[in-house]
Structure 1
Amino acid sequence: MNYTHLTQNERYQIYALLKAGHTQREIAQLLDRHPSTISRELARNCGLRGYRPRQAQRLSEARAANSRNAPRILPEVWEEAQRRLALQHSPEQIAAHLPISHEAIYQRIYADKRAGGALWRHLRCQKQRRKRYASGRSLRGHIPGRRPIALRPQAVESRSLVGHWEGDTLIGAGRKQAIVNLTERKSGFCLLAHVRNKTSEAVSEAIIRLLSPFKARVKTLTFDNGLEFARHGEIDRALESTSYFADPYASWQRGTNENTNGLIRQYLPKSRPFHTVTQEELAMIMDRLNHRPRKRLGWKTPHQVFMQSFSRVALRG
């Protein structure tokens, strides 16, 4: 087998598995890597505060950039990347179509910013990308029994089956009330609920209430690290599901959720106090999003794809 360098996502998985108490050999087995690869990664990329995935990625990229065999970005490639940035394409979207990595794009954007340039203004998430969070320490508390996303079955990534959900909360003005957003990964079918406070009790009750009618299509749930999801065990027992948690500050691991959040914000901007949101309004938003044709679904709607999964079971029966 030809050796390939560790990816940024694998580095976040290593970090999460270390935190969960796994040995280097166990991590290697879970990532389908040779144990020496994990050992070398930890030896080369640990800092004073231990192994941190973002730091490890930057150290690796710095070594690659200084290598005499490092690829150079062609001027025409960077020109096209800048054109797409101006159209507010994300670095990840640009890297999917051009021979340039998204990290290389970010590096050039922030180098341009330090030189007084304005490329950074085209980023949709300008604050989150390089913000430092207490020198790498989590500020969000401890979630008992937290199951890291590194342990989630690889089949979930393929989006080949309906039944794998992502969960998040949106906060309104005043930060006193919230909207629970549950989105199914394959279909994009979303469910919304209003909670008067973002406690783990209120959020877990809302999740169980929303998903219970579709219990047959709930296999896994993936959350961020908010303490409102601390009662994931109760959710799993009620729905017979398995919950996982994304790595800290790795919102791309819940891309379906994040995309849906952006669509919801068109109707419920951050300046909106959520105590003014009615159930009728939430129903209208769900109806519009779930019945909007999507290109990635072959112009079917999320509702069509989600409901067809029940029809297939009935036909097989």
Structure 2
Amino acid sequence: MANTDCTTTRRTFSHLSETKRGEFSAYLKMGLSLRTIAKKMGRHVSTLSREKKRGTVQQMDTNRKPYETYYADAGARVYQDHRQNSGCPSVRPKASAFLAFVEQKILKDKWSPDVVVGYARKCPEWQGSYIPCAKTLYNWIDAGHLTVINMDLPLKLRRSPKKKRSRQNKRVYGTSIEERCPSVDTRETIGHWEIDTVIGKKSNDEALLTLVERKTRKELITRLEGKDASSVEKGLQTLFAPYQKDHSRVFKTITADNGSEFSELDALGKQAGIAIYFSHPFASYERGSNERHNGLIRRFIKKGEAIHSYTDEKLQEVEAWMNELPRKILGYETPDDVFARAFSGAG
């Protein structure tokens, strides 16, 4: 927001400092009235009236008669005591049971704070319990009030995105994404997928083939023998196999990048009755869902680690975790639930 558009009103006052309290005490000893002192000090008379009340203490004269007088240090001490007790009381004690649930879901199940809050608000088990908002939860993590720390939140540690590059020397293997139906862009219909590969070591290693459905965020993962066109073809046949009965409804379009491993994808799509589209060179943002899901996979399969070191059971666990993770964009439903409802005729 520009300064000219700022709607925040600045404070026009400041608290009395030690020097100002000493000045106030001196004026009182001179016998000046509060209104006269207020004009000299440039303060509101009510401010000085409250300060006098804070710092006034009862004393005894030599004849043991009580009298009242103002002391600057007494006013400062009462002021500090009041400041210690100011502000709203913490609501963390009310959320103690929920915070234990939060720590379990973040540390064990790798959920984000937003997902935990959104899921709990829809879960009957937590109805009637105090659930803080996601921003409050992040604030408590930053302040160190939970055993969860920022190192446990992968997305908070990501580096700044790279600058966009504009290059025209990359080969396009088929129909451009510009010819894709607008309904695919708006995610109005189901059956439109994004495809990519995830590599381990940069050479002499297996790879992963990933498909993500744009509307439901359903994720499919399979192992590839290598990062080449023939391996991609075999991997797709593996992913297509469980959906033979509803193949035409489940797989309508696939959008890929211009990697050499997808050079035969257009021909494969024609055989399978699937429209294939290719994004612009160096425009990974055009397949944002796939890039986002690859980031989730990297929580479990680190860069530089060999894919063959992970068992098939581990890959299935990763796929199941992604499909059972409640998503804010799905109203905190899981991709599995939304996908199953869509193809059962209920959605």
- Work out whether the TM-score is over 0.5: yes
Q: Does 1:219 align with 2:252?
A: yes
TM-score (norm 1): 0.56
Q: Does 1:124 align with 2:153?
A: no
**Contact between 2:324 and 2:335, CA under 8 Å: does it hold in 1?**
yes
Partner SS state of residue 275, structure 1: helix
Q: 1:305 — aligned with what?
A: 338
| Structure 1 residue runs without a partner (length 5+) | 1-72, 79-121
Distance 1:148-1:278 versus aligned 2 partners, 3 A rule: same
Return the offset for 1:157: 1.0
Return the offset for 1:174: 3.2
The one-character-per-residue Cα deviations of 1:121-169 (angstroms, maximum 9, x if unpaired) are: x87354x42557xxx3435x562xx100000000101112210000001
CA distance in 1, matches of 2:210, 2:181: 22
Q: Match for 2:211 among 182, 187, 197?
A: 182
Q: Does 1:273 align with 2:306?
A: yes
**Contact between 1:196 and 1:275, CA under 8 Å: does it hold in 2?**
no
Matches within 5 A, 1:1-317: 74-75=2-3, 124-126=159-161, 128-130=162-164, 136-139=167-170, 141=171, 143=173, 146-175=174-203, 176-214=205-243, 215=247, 216-312=249-345
CA distance in 1, matches of 2:283, 2:293: 16
**Contact between 2:222 and 2:238, CA under 8 Å: does it hold in 1?**
no
Percent sequence identity over matched residues? 32
Distance 1:243-1:123 versus aligned 2 partners, 3 A rule: same
TM-score (norm 2): 0.51
Partner SS state of residue 270, structure 2: helix
Aligned residues: 193
**Contact between 2:232 and 2:261, CA under 8 Å: does it hold in 1?**
yes
Return the offset for 1:238: 4.2
Return the offset for 1:235: 2.6
**Contact between 1:212 and 1:239, CA under 8 Å: does it hold in 2?**
no
CA distance in 2, matches of 1:266, 1:247: 27
Return the offset for 1:179: 0.7
What one-letter code is carried by the residue in structure 2 that aligns with 1:124?
Answer: R
- The more displaced of 185-194 and 238-247 is 238-247
Partner SS state of residue 191, structure 1: strand
Partner SS state of residue 194, structure 1: strand
CA RMSD of aligned residues (A): 2.6
**Contact between 2:172 and 2:278, CA under 8 Å: does it hold in 1?**
no
**Contact between 2:255 and 2:287, CA under 8 Å: does it hold in 1?**
yes
Flag the structure with larger Rg.
2
What one-letter code is carried by the residue in structure 1 that aligns with 2:2?
Answer: L
Return the offset for 1:257: 0.3
Distance 1:125-1:226 versus aligned 2 partners, 3 A rule: farther
Q: 2:38 — aligned with what?
A: none
CA distance in 2, matches of 1:75, 1:246: 40
| Structure 2 residue runs without a partner (length 5+) | 7-156
Structure holding more helix per residue: 1
What one-letter code is carried by the residue in structure 2 that aligns with 1:162?
Answer: I
